Amino acid sequence: MNVVVCVKQIPDPSVPGQLEADHTLDRSAKPILDESDSYGVEMALQLVDAAGGGEVTLISLAPNGEVSGLRTALAMGAAKAVLVSDEACSGTDALGTAKVLAKCVERVGNADLVLAATESSDGYTGTVPAQMAELLGWPALTFAKKVEIADGKVKIQRQTEAGYDVVEASLPALVSVTAGVVEPRYPSFKGIMAAKSKPVDQVTAADLGLEGQVGWAGARQAISNVEQAPARQAGEKFEDDGTGAEKIVAFLENLKVI
Amino acid sequence: MTLNKVWVYAEANGDKVTTATLELLTKAREIASTVEAVYAGGHADAVAAQVGEYGATTLHAIDAQGGMPGQVAAAAIAQLAHSEAPDAILFVQSYDGRDAIARLSVKLDRPVLTNGFSLSVDGGQLTFGTAIFGGATLVDCTLSSDAPHLIAVRPKSFAAESAGGGAAAVTNHGSIDAGRAGEAKVLEVFEEEQSGPKLEEAEIVVSGGRGIGAQESYKPLVEELAKQLKGAFGASRAIVDAGWVPYALQVGQTGKTVKPKVYIALGISGATQHLVGMKNSDNIIAVNKDGEAPIFGVADLGIVGDVHKVVPALKDAIAAKG
């Protein structure tokens, strides 16, 4: 069982985000592994383990040859990675990203399953997994909160507005997993040391045959205006001195909801 | 000058069209001279009546073939778009909506604009507004790709207003081969038991986060207060991920978008992920131990205190008022 996991290396979400002059996200700080992706990595490791063989390969698109987030996932136990790092990819949109990652899946070869998060924590378009599946010509089982593999099939519980659906398809297939699908492991010291020497295959968009389909030009969209949202009127804040509940009651009474 | 023709990808629960679909139809009427709906699923006649009331003249009905509706629909919409030539296709930023827009973008080789909250047309040029960094920064975008433009909009971005129209004419397109996308079949459907008003429609929403301390505290603190106020109860992603409450209760970027009259956040720090789903509520009350928590930045009334003390006192006070 060979599993490919899409991972994104993103600016630390605890630091307020900023845009560059060209309206791309400021990615100058050292990126980290998107926490949303740690669930897919853990899921992949567990599935390969349960299958009794095979390996987990990471694929990632990141500027400046960034590998710090990849090393975290390699330290968790992934075997190797493909990293697309290329100036030409700056400004790439969701469809362009899906094209790059689908080509990476083909470059890795022999994948039974591709796992991705439902959306990244910095861009949160939420379309890349299904776009990749369409490019690969595969079924996409999206928004999975439980994943099982048996007899060449993958069965998931797919999150819905009202509960969940049980959805099944044959492999190879792509599955997007929600946060919380499994509890991600912490890398061990041994894992961290081993990760340093694991292979990272660094390629460009041209190597993947995607010249002209990535970057701002491929995105075919322009940003016509950027402005700060009007701040919400600051409200009142009180230390609870035993009258907190009374203050809430008065507030609700004033709105005539009680 | 408005657009000539706009399609809305319609979604329904059973035979009831989702409110978010009706919101998009209302907006589509404003930006286009002809509005039509595309739909994959059952109860096409009931759906046609509802989308017609909100302004769609035609319902293009597609057989979902037991698959995930959005993914099966994409193959059919791609074929229809070539012959029917809509200027734009609007989707709800929902699970099925994202599936449909994603597959369609590849089939038509068009970029997608997602997480929209405003749409306008000026001189035939469509401008799309979205918010980034948890809503702190507003961004307007235009597309240079050819029609149809593919756009997904967050629920609650527009008000749904009936146009008083009659049922849309149903055009049945039957089963269209979706290739391996159609191989994924829905075997069973589970709905979480739900009592009281729906989260997205309630006047009052009470949500709990990590600060409530333990799974056992959710019912007495969050659920009971919500019921007392005849409201709905929700949750932050942290406690959904922790498995304390079902996903259906999640408010936020990946969960539901709510816009109630009163939103009460209990033990929620206010991560960007959560704020996106509730910051447009009319009134926000927050109770949290950490006075520096970002939730206080959007709260109209903030109580820096322990939810285990404040909420029981609040419940008693409300009960005393009968």
**In this structure, are B29 and B96 located in the same domain?**
yes
Q: Are residues B209 and B151 in the same domain?
A: no
Q: How many domains is chain B partitioned into structurally?
A: 2
How open is the CA angle A202-A178-B279, to the nearest 5 degrees? 110
- Establish if B299 belongs to a structural domain: yes
Count contacts between A and B (CB, < 8 Å).
268
Residues B41 and B179 in one domain: yes
Verify that B159 and B261 share a domain, yes or no: no
Same-domain pairing of B14 and B67:
yes
Closest among A221, A218, A199, A197 to A208, alpha carbons compared? A218
CA nearest to B67 within chain A: A167
- Classify residue B195: in a domain, yes or no: no
Q: What is the reported pLDDT for A162?
A: 81
Give the one of A139, A142, A257 whose C-beta lies nearest to B203's C-beta: A257
Residue B218: give its domain's CATH number: 3.40.50.1220
Residues 99-138 of B with CB under 8 A from A: 99, 101-103, 105-107, 109-115, 127, 131-133, 135-138
Strand A236-239: give its sheet, edge to edge: A236-239, B301-304, B283-288, B262-266, B204-208, B232-235
Provide the greatest CA pair distance for chain B: 65
Q: What is the CATH number of the domain that holds B54?
A: 3.40.50.620
* Structure confidence at residue B110 (pLDDT): 96
B295 CB-near residues (< 8 Å, 6+ apart): B265, B268, B269, B270, B274, B275, B286, B288, B302
Say yes or no: B320 contacts chain A, CB-CB below 8 A.
no
Q: Are residues B104 and B222 in the same domain?
A: no
What domain range includes position B70?
Answer: 3-183
Whether A162 has its CB under 8 Å from any CB of chain B: the answer is yes
pLDDT along chain A (258 residues), means of 10: 96 81 85 93 97 97 92 98 94 95 97 95 90 98 95 95 92 94 93 97 96 88 89 86 95 94
Q: Where among B149, B183, B217 does a domain terminate? A: B183
Q: Locate the DSSP E strands across chain B.
A: 3-10, 12-13, 16-17, 32-40, 58-62, 88-92, 112-122, 125-132, 137-143, 149-153, 169-174, 185-191, 204-208, 232-235, 262-266, 283-288, 301-304
Nearest chain B residue (CA) to A92:
B111
Within-domain flag for B198: no
Distance CA B47, CA B37 (A): 10
Please indicate, yes or no, whether residues B167 and B211 belong to a single structural domain of this protein: no
Residue B233 covered by a domain: yes
β-pair partners for B12: B17
Tokens of B219: 């019912």
Q: CB contact, 8 Å: A254 with chain B?
A: no
**Does residue B210 share a domain with residue B153?**
no
Residues 6+ away with beta carbon under 8 Å from A150: none
Q: Which of B151, B183, B215 is the last residue of a domain?
A: B183
ipTM value, please give it: 0.92
Determine, yes or no, domain membership for B188: no
A183 shares contact with chain B (CB less than 8 Å): no
pLDDT of residue A217: 85
A170/B183 Cβ within 8 A:
yes
Out of B71, B102, B262, the one facing A255 most closely (by C-beta) is B262
Q: Which positions in chain B touch A164 (Cβ < 8 Å)?
A: 190, 247
Q: Chain A residue closest to B231 (CA)?
A: A257
Give me the residues of A, 97-116, that contact B with CB < 8 A. 98
Does B277 fall in a domain? yes
- Residue A19, C-beta contacts closer than 8 angstroms, at least 6 positions apart: A25, A26, A226, B132, B137
In chain A, where are the structural domains located? Answer: 3-219
Divide the 322 residues of chain B into consecutive groups of 10 and give the mean pLDDT of each group.
95 95 98 98 97 98 95 96 96 96 97 94 92 84 94 95 97 93 96 83 96 97 96 94 88 90 97 89 97 93 97 96 77
Please check whether residue A186 touches B, CB under 8 A: no
Architecture of the domain whose range is A3-219: 3-Layer(aba) Sandwich (3.40)
Q: Are B154 and B230 in a shared domain? A: no
What is the number of alpha carbons within 13 Å of residue A176 lying toward its C-beta? 23
